[in-house]
Structure 1
Amino acid sequence: MSSAAGPDPAEAPEERLFLSAAEAAALERELLEDYRFGRQQLVELCGHASAVAVTKVFPLPALSRKQRTVLVVCGPEQNGAVGLVCARHLRVFEYEPTIFYPTRSLDLLHRDLTTQCEKMDIPFLSYLPTEVQLINEAYGLVVDAVLGPGVEPGEVGGPCTRALATLKLLSIPLVSLDIPSGWDAETGGDAEDGLRPDVLVSLAAPKRCAGRFSGRHHFVAGRFVPDDVRRKFALRLPGYTGTDCVAAL
C-alpha cells in the first residue's frame, strides 16, 4: 500500500473492473484518511471476507475431516495480517486451520493478531516440510497470504521465498489473497512460472494482474467500500447478494 494520486473525478473515467497499483493505494488512502477507517478495521474486514470466500468454494458439509484442515501461510506485511484474521475466522467457522508464519512482524497489529490465534489454540508450524507430499496429505487446502501488491519475495526474507517455492508444487487447492504471491500487481509478471491458485480473493477491488488469473473461482471482498468511493474510482463490480460480504466474478 503506497501513496499515489487518485483519479480525477472531473475526467469521468469509463467504468472498469481492475485497478492499477497506484489506484488501489489511493482507494485505500481514501478509506483511511477521508472515511476514517482504521488499519486494523480494514484488515479484519478483509480477513473475515477471505474466510467467507473459502466457505463458498469449500463448504463444510461437503468436506471430509481431512479436507477441513487448512494451512494458512502468512508473510510479515499487511497480507500476512489478513491471513491471520482469515485463519481465526476459519476456526470460528469450524475448519481446522494451521498457520505457517516464518518471518514474524514486530508490528503491534501483527503481534495482537498472532496472540488471538494462539489463544484460540490454532497451531503454528515451526517449519514447512520440503517434501511436498507431506503437505498434500496433511491438509485439504492452502491459503496464500505471503505477499501483497508491491511486495517482492526478496523483501520478506528466505523463509518466505522458500515457502513460495514449495507452494508452487502442491497438488491440493490453493487460495490466494488479493494477488497470487510473487505476481506483479500490474502485469501479472511471473504468472506463468509462479503460483497458480485455484481461488483468488481480491481485497476491496481486483488489481490489474487479476486479468491473468485462470483459476476456478474469483471473488471480490469489497462490500465495505462505500458507494461514493466506488463511483470515484469508476469501479464496475458485481452486486452482493443478501448479506454476503463477497461476490463472485
Structure 2
Amino acid sequence: MSGKPAISLLSASVAKALDGELMSTGAFSVDQLMELAGLSVSQVVYREYPRSSHVKVLVCCGPGNNGGDGLVAARHLWQYGYQPTVYYPKPSSPDLYKRLCKQLEDLDIPIHTTHTSDSFHQLLNQSSLIVDSLFGFSFKGPVREPFGEILSAIVDSKLHVVSVDAPSSWEIDEGPQKEGPLKNFNPNVLISLTAPKPCCNFYKGKHYLGGRFVSKAIKEKYHLQLPPYPGMDQIVNITDEPLATV
C-alpha cells in the first residue's frame, strides 16, 4: 500500500443522499450529471480498448439512470470512431431518455428494445466489447428477467466487459452474488462514478473513477477523500489505491 489517504467508499444510502445533494444545493440537473458520467465511461473505453481491436461495442442499458449513462457513452463512442450498438430491452418512458435515444437514432446507432435470447447472442457474436450499464447504485437484488439471462449470456461470451458504477448483479454494499450463474461475474474494467461503492472491496480488475463534478462544499459535508483528476481528463485510474468507507 502507498502512503496516500484512502479513497472514500459510499454506501448505497449515502450515494443516494449525495446524488440528491448534487441536484439540489449543487444545482446540477440530472441531464448534466448523466452527460458527465457517460463522457467518463466513453473515456475509459477509449483509454483501455482501442478502436483497432474493439471497434464494435455493445452497450447494454438498464431502465434507470445507469442505463442513461450508457446511452450517453454510446453517443460519445460514435464520435470517437467506434461502432456502438445499444441493447435496451426495457426503455424508460421519461422524456430525458427519449431524447437520448433520438440523439443516437440521428447518428444511425442501432437500438434494440426487445429481448430474445437468439437476438442477444447474435449481437454478442458480432461485438468485440461490452459496456455494462444495466444497474447502478440503487440496485437491490434479486436480478429480474430478462436481465438475469442477459448477464449470464455476457459471462458465457468471454468478451471483455466495462461496468458502469458497479458490476451489474452485485449488491452495492455487499459485493457479488453468493450463488448462481452470476457469482463469478467480475468485469475486466470498472468505472465508479462520484466515488467507489463498498462492493469495490471485492472487485479484481482495472478500476477507474469518473464524475469530475463534486464541489468542495459537498466533499466537506460528506467527508469525502477523492483523488485529483489529471489535466483535462474526466477519469482517474484508482486501481490498487486504498479504499475506506466514509
Partner of 2:42: 51
Q: Percent identity?
A: 35
Partner of 2:241: none
Cα distance, 1:131 vs structure 2 = 8.7
Q: Aligned pair in 2 of structure 1 residues 233, 136: CA closer, same or farther (>3 Å)?
A: same
Whether 1:184 aligns to 2:171 is yes
Whether 1:233 aligns to 2:222 is yes
Structure 2 distance, partners of 1:120, 1:154, is 35
Correspondence list, 1:1-249, <5 A: 16-60=7-51, 63-64=52-53, 67-125=54-112, 126-127=114-115, 129-130=117-118, 134-135=122-123, 137-152=125-140, 158-190=145-177, 193=183, 195-215=185-205, 217-249=206-238
Structure 2 distance, partners of 1:134, 1:171, is 14
Gaps of 5+ in 2: 239-246
Cα distance, 1:135 vs structure 2 = 4.7
Tell me the SS of whatever aligns to 2:186: coil
User: Which residue identity lines up with residue 173 of structure 1 in the other structure?
Assistant: H
Q: Aligned pair in 2 of structure 1 residues 223, 76: CA closer, same or farther (>3 Å)?
A: same
Q: How many residues align?
A: 230
Of structures 1 and 2, the one scoring higher in RCO (CA 8 A, sep 6+) is 2
Tell me the SS of whatever aligns to 1:144: strand
Structure 1 distance, partners of 2:188, 2:234, is 20
Cα distance, 1:105 vs structure 2 = 1.1
Q: Aligned pair in 2 of structure 1 residues 107, 195: CA closer, same or farther (>3 Å)?
A: farther
Q: Is the 8 A contact 1:136 1:171 kept in 2?
A: no
Q: Is the 8 A contact 1:142 1:172 kept in 2?
A: yes
Q: Is the 8 A contact 1:218 1:248 kept in 2?
A: yes
Cα distance, 1:175 vs structure 2 = 0.5
Q: Is the 8 A contact 1:150 1:184 kept in 2?
A: no
Structure 2 distance, partners of 1:140, 1:15, is 34
Q: Aligned pair in 2 of structure 1 residues 130, 234: CA closer, same or farther (>3 Å)?
A: farther
Tell me the SS of whatever aligns to 2:201: helix
1:31-85 residue CA offsets vs partner (Å, 9 max, x unmatched): 111011001111111011111111111133xx24xx2100000011111111100
Alpha-carbon RMSD: 2.2
1:79-104 residue CA offsets vs partner (Å, 9 max, x unmatched): 11111001111111111100110111
